[in-house]
Structure 1
Amino acid sequence: MTNPLALQLYTVRDQLAADRDGVLGRVAGLGYGAVEPFDPTTDPEGFRRVADDLGLSVPITHAYALLDQEPAKVFDAIATVGAELAVIPGGVPHEEFTTRDGLARTADLLNGLAGRAAAHGVRIGYHNHWWEIEPRFGERHALEELAGLLAPEVFLEVDTYWAAVGGADVPALLGRLGDRVLALHVKDGPGDKESPHTAVGAGVMPVPDVLAAAPGAWRIVELDHCAGDVFEALAASRGHLNSLEGV
């Protein structure tokens, strides 16, 4: 693992709302070296100051706000928190992934944002759930079809768990997507749409095979809804991934 292990802060969204600085300190204390905000527009200056004090890097952020706020303001916030990669984590109707015309519209949206982002020194990416995986075009998942329509600078942040829930052989999918994948959401659980997630290594995901299929991608732990104490699960996830550090 060449990059520090990161945490998607959506995992601790409720705790952050109550005590942002304290939670970031706990995350750093668990051994995470980087964080991925889910909304960089919330006090970006204060967030960056605390992250810097704790030695947490912020290489990547979700940027749903680009779809419903003035982009220039959002790009300023992204620059302030220090991220060079900005991910669209949803906001596209599920139905758009079921037809070629819908995929073309989605690609146009992402490519257009990428053009604007370049002027700010930012690259745009897209994060999948299961609904970009379940539809198939021949032997290819919809996400693969979308990738073929994206401008070269648009990257993918593959949510490995939701890709599996959507029916993908995740290591094989990552192999086919290749260098398009710059980041992975690493999560675990029972492998269905409804159940809460578990610590990485405590569920059904073939984590070593997944990591080996995209060795250069950022590894970002995310537990959307956690079974049990979230900080205990994050500590266990960190420990498990440390044990696989050579993968």
Structure 2
Amino acid sequence: MKFPIALQPYTIREELKQDFLGSFTKVAEIGYQAVEAGPPPAGVTIDEMKAHFDELGLQVMGCHAGLDQLTDENERKALVDFLELFGARYVALSYRFESREAVLEAAKRFNAVGGALRERGIQFLYHNHDWEFNEFDGESALDILLQATDPELVKLELDVYWAQKGGVDPAAYIRKLKGRCPVLHVKDMEPGDERFFAEVGEGVLDFAAILAAAEDIGTEWLVVEQDACRRSPFESIAISYNNLSRMGVAAQ
């Protein structure tokens, strides 16, 4: 059971503001093979980013984007051009639903975006938080969404921390997603009522079960993300990467 390990750079967002390219050097030095990152900020060109990543041997495996960005034809084209340049395959999106009707309406838009992305060889992913496990008429918003979307056009980037916080067993939920969850967001949860974010392997989540389930359903990537850290974010992402390596699941 081996997975390539990527980092979601939201974890080091403040560090990126200070030194965009240098921060990715540190990410590569830790051992990460890829990041889930979009185009660079003002002051850094796409060509400069590409040259730096090539030098580091660091991939871009995908990025996150907003629905308006993905719906606008020109903005979507610019983003996909960036992803193609870096050899990336995924675009993930998060959303919020207040009713069953809102889920069904979003599902139509997600199918349309997923179809447009698929024409360019990019897979659309939905990234959950905990609120997708709220129920409407006895069904969770996420279950409704998965049923209402085309499984080829809309796949899932399941975030295991948010699934646990939403009240489900992440490993059991993953097993429902065969062929539909190519990317897993991994972070851990501290014990106690606060349920604060923790480095992978340092909290209460059962990663042995989670990773076994991910292997069984065909998950391709693990993406480390930690929304907030009690220590230096670079220290946190190193702990997560090293713990995954010790678990024997980090592809070299």
Tell me if both proteins adopt one fold, taking TM over 0.5 as the criterion: yes
| Structure 2: distance between partners of 1:191 and 1:106 | 34
State the partner residue of 1:190.
Answer: 190
SS at 1:87 equivalent: strand
| Structure 2: distance between partners of 1:8 and 1:236 | 15
1:183 Cα shift?
0.6
| Structure 1: distance between partners of 2:228 and 2:39 | 21
| Amino acid across the alignment from 1:121 | G
State the partner residue of 2:16.
Answer: 16
**Deviations 1:190-245, CA, capped at 9 Å, x for gaps:** 26896642211111111111111111321110001111111111111111111212
Higher relative contact order (CA 8 A, sep 6+): 2
Unaligned runs of 5+ in 2: none
State the partner residue of 2:234.
Answer: 231
Aligned match for 1:52, one of 29, 54, 57: 54
State the partner residue of 1:79.
Answer: 84
Q: Is the 8 A contact 2:127 2:156 kept in 1?
A: yes
| Amino acid across the alignment from 1:84 | R
Within a 5 Å distance, the mapping from 1:208-227 to structure 2 comes to: 208-215=208-215, 216-217=218-219, 218-227=221-230
| Structure 1: distance between partners of 2:110 and 2:194 | 29
Q: Is the 8 A contact 1:165 1:192 kept in 2?
A: no
SS at 1:202 equivalent: coil
Unaligned runs of 5+ in 1: none
Residues 62/192 of structure 1: CA separation in 2 closer, same or farther (3 Å cut) = farther
| Amino acid across the alignment from 1:225 | A
Q: What is the percentage of aligned positions where both structures have the same residue?
A: 36
Q: CA RMSD in A?
A: 2.2
SS at 2:177 equivalent: helix
1:81 Cα shift?
3.1
1:41 Cα shift?
6.0
TM-score norm. by structure 2 comes to: 0.87
Residues 165/53 of structure 1: CA separation in 2 closer, same or farther (3 Å cut) = same
Q: Count residues in correspondence.
A: 240
1:23 Cα shift?
0.7
Residues 63/191 of structure 1: CA separation in 2 closer, same or farther (3 Å cut) = farther
Q: Is the 8 A contact 1:40 1:81 kept in 2?
A: no
TM-score norm. by structure 1 comes to: 0.88
| Amino acid across the alignment from 1:144 | D
State the partner residue of 1:148.
Answer: 147
Q: Give yes or no for the alignment of 1:40 onto 2:39.
A: yes
1:144 Cα shift?
2.0
State the partner residue of 1:104.
Answer: 104
| Amino acid across the alignment from 1:142 | A
**Deviations 1:118-172, CA, capped at 9 Å, x for gaps:** 222211111000111122553x532122111111322100011011101111111
